[in-house]
Structure 1
């Protein structure tokens, strides 16, 4: 991956920090580069796991003019760690591994690749990323280097946020009838071998809906590899060349948390 445009981005951003903070964002990127938001907004329609005790709740504390004559707005929010576009920290499925605040930035900001299995997922809602997909990607686009964020595109984002369409079932309290694509044990092992920085997917879980043992989670997280779930807009990314910035809420001791993830696409 060519890094000259990333260096240019750093230099331009540094200039902004040194007294030119009023520059528009378009001037903080190399000419022709662009940003892609890979994050769903959190609201009352955000799908959560069927057994989750609650969803995302935003409650208004203040909204209006104050006695002092100025406008003021403030809310409280409450949500489980795992829902919407979010992080799975390794501790989520691996005892003693990293919690949310312990993740080094090198696992959260890194070059990204997108492996597309949407054709398989269109035929089978329980489709799995297999080692053959990884090998086919590398044959066409080159080896996945250590420290790469690997994103798996299944096409499931077109179903968001309809809970039944996205999860395969919307029975409250019952997670036994879910259907959506994921990552096989063997593919997870292949990504561990390639020393992926992190692994993301555009479904509710790196394991497919019918999973009972969440083996992809286990394999990745025993290797201290975090996961990003419910990633949006992967159809807008090229197979290779994007810089991924995935910054979760830094929750001390957290097993995950809400994630703001964006991609910087190089010129051309």
Structure 2
């Protein structure tokens, strides 16, 4: 097994350093040999592309995804998730076989918003570069603010206060906003602010989100790869024009919504892997998100 870095000779595999942020992992089967490519960006150029196998093996993998079930929360105007049994049992030929059919909205449960969702002519889900969905992560804890005000809008000042204590948000980071609302999942009333469904429910939504100016600041000043949140929308529940969506998606910054277990993450020093279904023409889709937390944390 080899580690290969762009523009460098193959290096013996030593897998994940706590100080290295691997951006993209691709597995290629070649004649029975699994070659693992790690595109380490600046680390390659600086010659710091060695990875510690032990550190990788001791890293924690944290699932930031809600399971898709009958009570999965979807946008109030969308249909609920359904897993429809097609067959389960012995076949006439004597072997066991089981199969289901999925019925679901693109924007329900833990999912991704592709740029086309709020940007005319934007990238569809299959066109979002995989590099946008894998990278170094930071967790912005605003649980206290959101506990006091369920309509809280995360501001530029929140990010600057975070940086004053923890250092600058890295360029090209994946920013995860922890409002604490994941603890309410899957109870609709505390999570969304209403039990209503249908168009009339939209004006009754009350949950935190990201201020449009803060979203634009992340894009302009920190060149973020993606932004995620543990609520039903990156815009707060009372939004009318969804300007935060527009600020991010118009700049090809995908959005991850309905994340779970962000409280298990450190504030920084971890990596994020967020891989959706590759749906041609999709405006979004179900997303499996994991964080890789090195043993130092």
Q: Same fold (TM over 0.5)?
A: yes
89, 113, 117: which is aligned to 2:114? 89
Residue 23 of structure 1: aligned partner: none
2:141 equivalent to 1:105: no
Residue 62 of structure 2: aligned partner: 36
| TM-score calculated relative to the size of structure 2 | 0.82
Tell me how many residue pairs correspond in the alignment. 257
| Residue pair 2:22, 2:135 contacting (<8 A) in 1 also | no
Residue 215 of structure 1: aligned partner: 243
Q: Deviations over 1:148-192 (max 9, x none)?
A: 100000000110001111100121212111000000011111111
2:68 equivalent to 1:55: no
81, 93, 101: which is aligned to 1:76? 101
RMSD of equivalent CA atoms: 2.3
Residue 286 of structure 2: aligned partner: 258
2:145 equivalent to 1:125: no
155, 163, 178: which is aligned to 1:138? 163
Q: Give the gaps of 5 or more residues in structure 2.
A: 1-15, 36-52
Q: Distance in 1 between matches of 2:206 and 2:290?
A: 27
161, 172, 179: which is aligned to 2:206? 179
Residue 267 of structure 1: aligned partner: 295
| Residue pair 2:205, 2:238 contacting (<8 A) in 1 also | yes
Q: Deviations over 1:180-217 (max 9, x none)?
A: 00000111111111111000000000001111111110
Q: Distance in 2 between matches of 1:9 and 1:112?
A: 11
Structure 1 position 7, deviation (Å)? 7.8
Q: Distance in 1 between matches of 2:233 and 2:77?
A: 14
| Residue pair 1:56, 1:78 contacting (<8 A) in 2 also | yes
Q: Distance in 2 between matches of 1:72 and 1:262?
A: 30
Moved over 2 A (4+): 3-11, 17-20
Q: Which has the higher contact order (CA 8 A, sep 6+)?
A: 1
Q: Distance in 1 between matches of 2:237 and 2:261?
A: 21
Q: Distance in 2 between matches of 1:65 and 1:247?
A: 34
Q: Deviations over 1:202-253 (max 9, x none)?
A: 0000001111111110101111100000001000001101110000111111
Structure 1 position 49, deviation (Å)? 1.2
- Indicate how the Cα distance of structure 1 residues 32 and 224 shifts in structure 2: closer, same or farther if over 3 A, else same: same
| Residue pair 1:63, 1:72 contacting (<8 A) in 2 also | yes
